[in-house]
Amino acid sequence: MVSDDVLRTHLQELRRGTVVVASLVALRRPDYGYALLQRLTGHGFPVDANTLYPLLRRLEEQGLLTSEWNTEESRPRKFYRTSDSGEQVLRRLLADLAAVQTSLTTLIEGAPR
Protein backbone atom coordinates (compact mmCIF):
# COMPACT_ATOMS: atom_id res chain seq x y z
CA MET A 1 0.00 0.00 0.00
CA VAL A 2 1.29 3.45 -0.91
CA SER A 3 1.70 5.86 1.97
CA ASP A 4 -0.31 9.07 2.12
CA ASP A 5 2.93 11.07 2.01
CA VAL A 6 4.03 9.47 -1.26
CA LEU A 7 0.62 10.05 -2.85
CA ARG A 8 0.46 13.62 -1.54
CA THR A 9 3.89 14.37 -3.04
CA HIS A 10 2.91 13.07 -6.47
CA LEU A 11 -0.42 14.91 -6.43
CA GLN A 12 1.41 18.11 -5.52
CA GLU A 13 3.83 17.63 -8.43
CA LEU A 14 0.95 16.95 -10.82
CA ARG A 15 -0.94 20.06 -9.76
CA ARG A 16 2.05 22.40 -9.71
CA GLY A 17 1.91 23.04 -13.47
CA THR A 18 -1.86 23.05 -13.66
CA VAL A 19 -2.07 25.94 -11.19
CA VAL A 20 -0.25 28.12 -13.73
CA VAL A 21 -2.74 27.16 -16.43
CA ALA A 22 -5.71 27.58 -14.09
CA SER A 23 -4.47 31.02 -12.97
CA LEU A 24 -4.02 32.24 -16.54
CA VAL A 25 -7.51 31.01 -17.43
CA ALA A 26 -9.11 32.52 -14.32
CA LEU A 27 -7.33 35.84 -14.77
CA ARG A 28 -8.83 36.41 -18.18
CA ARG A 29 -11.24 38.24 -15.89
CA PRO A 30 -9.29 40.63 -13.61
CA ASP A 31 -9.13 39.64 -9.98
CA TYR A 32 -7.04 40.19 -6.87
CA GLY A 33 -4.97 37.53 -5.17
CA TYR A 34 -7.24 36.41 -2.36
CA ALA A 35 -10.31 36.20 -4.61
CA LEU A 36 -8.29 34.18 -7.12
CA LEU A 37 -7.20 31.86 -4.32
CA GLN A 38 -10.84 31.26 -3.38
CA ARG A 39 -11.93 30.82 -7.00
CA LEU A 40 -9.18 28.32 -7.77
CA THR A 41 -9.97 26.34 -4.62
CA GLY A 42 -13.67 26.37 -5.53
CA HIS A 43 -12.83 24.88 -8.91
CA GLY A 44 -10.70 22.05 -7.53
CA PHE A 45 -7.28 23.71 -7.58
CA PRO A 46 -6.42 24.04 -3.90
CA VAL A 47 -3.36 26.26 -3.65
CA ASP A 48 -1.67 27.78 -0.63
CA ALA A 49 -1.32 31.56 -0.46
CA ASN A 50 2.44 31.11 0.04
CA THR A 51 2.50 29.43 -3.36
CA LEU A 52 0.03 31.64 -5.24
CA TYR A 53 1.43 35.10 -4.47
CA PRO A 54 5.00 34.29 -5.59
CA LEU A 55 3.50 32.63 -8.69
CA LEU A 56 1.53 35.79 -9.51
CA ARG A 57 4.67 37.92 -9.13
CA ARG A 58 6.66 35.53 -11.34
CA LEU A 59 3.99 35.48 -14.05
CA GLU A 60 3.85 39.27 -13.95
CA GLU A 61 7.66 39.52 -14.23
CA GLN A 62 7.49 37.18 -17.24
CA GLY A 63 4.95 39.48 -18.86
CA LEU A 64 2.17 36.88 -18.72
CA LEU A 65 0.06 38.97 -16.33
CA THR A 66 -0.55 42.68 -16.00
CA SER A 67 -1.57 44.33 -12.77
CA GLU A 68 -2.95 47.56 -11.43
CA TRP A 69 -3.84 48.83 -8.01
CA ASN A 70 -7.44 49.57 -7.11
CA THR A 71 -7.39 52.23 -4.40
CA GLU A 72 -11.10 53.07 -4.58
CA GLU A 73 -12.05 50.63 -1.83
CA SER A 74 -11.18 50.92 1.85
CA ARG A 75 -8.19 48.63 1.34
CA PRO A 76 -6.00 48.92 -1.79
CA ARG A 77 -5.90 45.72 -3.83
CA LYS A 78 -3.70 44.68 -6.68
CA PHE A 79 -5.75 43.30 -9.56
CA TYR A 80 -4.15 40.90 -12.02
CA ARG A 81 -5.17 40.10 -15.58
CA THR A 82 -3.83 37.71 -18.21
CA SER A 83 -1.85 39.76 -20.75
CA ASP A 84 -1.79 39.23 -24.51
CA SER A 85 1.49 37.33 -24.09
CA GLY A 86 -0.10 35.32 -21.29
CA GLU A 87 -2.99 34.45 -23.59
CA GLN A 88 -0.55 33.21 -26.25
CA VAL A 89 1.30 31.05 -23.72
CA LEU A 90 -2.00 29.80 -22.31
CA ARG A 91 -3.19 28.64 -25.73
CA ARG A 92 0.04 26.64 -26.15
CA LEU A 93 -0.21 25.20 -22.64
CA LEU A 94 -3.84 24.17 -23.17
CA ALA A 95 -2.97 22.51 -26.47
CA ASP A 96 -0.13 20.61 -24.84
CA LEU A 97 -2.32 19.63 -21.91
CA ALA A 98 -4.92 18.25 -24.35
CA ALA A 99 -2.19 16.30 -26.17
CA VAL A 100 -0.94 14.85 -22.88
CA GLN A 101 -4.50 13.84 -21.96
CA THR A 102 -4.95 12.17 -25.34
CA SER A 103 -1.67 10.30 -24.95
CA LEU A 104 -2.59 9.14 -21.47
CA THR A 105 -6.01 7.99 -22.60
CA THR A 106 -4.43 6.03 -25.45
CA LEU A 107 -1.91 4.48 -23.08
CA ILE A 108 -4.59 3.59 -20.51
CA GLU A 109 -6.82 2.03 -23.15
CA GLY A 110 -3.88 0.05 -24.50
CA ALA A 111 -4.23 1.21 -28.07
CA PRO A 112 -1.11 0.65 -30.18
CA ARG A 113 0.71 3.67 -31.51
Say if CB 80 and CB 60 are below 8 A apart: yes
Q: What is the pLDDT of residues 13-63, one digit of tens each?
A: 888 889 999 999 999 999 999 999 999 999 999 899 999 999 999 999 999
Q: What is the pLDDT of residues 91-108, one digit of tens each?
A: 999 999 999 999 999 999
Q: Given this structure, which CATH class describes domain 19-105? A: mainly alpha
Q: Which of 69, 37, 72, 70 is nearest to 55 (CA)?
A: 37
For 77, the 3-state DSSP assignment is: strand
113, exposed or middle or buried, with CB in 10 Å at 0-12, 13-18, 19+?
Answer: exposed
Q: How open is the CA angle 42-89-16, to the nearest 5 degrees?
A: 45
**What's the pLDDT band for 113 if we cut at 50, 70, 90?**
low
